[in-house]
Structure 1
């Protein structure tokens, strides 16, 4: 009796799975309907309307749209086991770290001296930076936001 019940349950689950797969195969996906509507409306002379998702005010700029990214580094910056100091003024903490579009990393001390640091790269920046909280139209706006 137990074997008949187990077999009936297994057959029922298989029938459910087959029905679900058949139903999913017959239902078009949302992006298929948008693509299917575009040629039909293009033939009638009107422009195809594609949903704007996400809205423009929620989209972040792409990597090609920005000159670079910056973050504040308050503690001493240790590179290859040694504390990095500004070559001009000797400051060793409170840096602004820039990751530029060409994958170079630049450091700026509190006094405004900037130097490229070849031992740091974009991978290091990505590991140590947090999420982007703001986009700034100018460098001065970004520095003011970070307290420099």
Structure 2
């Protein structure tokens, strides 16, 4: 499959160069020089310096978000054993499991929720925290 993909890429580049040559001939301009084979096969340089790169999914233990309204799962309001039914912290862990934390600090795995649910309901990541306590403090929990 890898060879087929590289052949397709090579054919695409050849067709692209031929199209550019036709456009250049029609407009009367000269073409820029094509990159050498060594330059074309070299890995592209990283665009951002390391300090500006966001961690990848493998670099973090999980994601968390606040869920202030009552959490409805399968048509029922989910409640903790302590009676809390709102102001949850929802964790999406690296192993694609979703955990809930009530305001009293009780944590439970919720098998009915998954990473797809979390991604549909969470906003963009606004900050990364080195510890769980820092993240909870950021979310006022």
Name the counterpart of 1:69: 63
Runs of 4+ off more than 4 Å: none
Structure ID, larger Rg: 1
1:142 lines up with 2:139 in the alignment:
no
1:19 lines up with 2:13 in the alignment:
no
Unaligned residue ranges in structure 2 (runs of 5+): 1-19
Structure 1 segment 59-138 matched on structure 2, within 5 A: 59-87=53-81, 89-138=82-131
Structure 1 vs Structure 2 CA RMSD: 2.9
Unaligned residue ranges in structure 1 (runs of 5+): 1-15, 39-49
What TM-score, normalized to structure 1? 0.70
Deviation, 1:56, is 0.9
Deviation, 1:57, is 1.4
1:33 lines up with 2:39 in the alignment:
yes
1:51-94 alpha-carbon deviations (Å, 9 max, x no partner): 4421111111111111100000011000111100012x110000
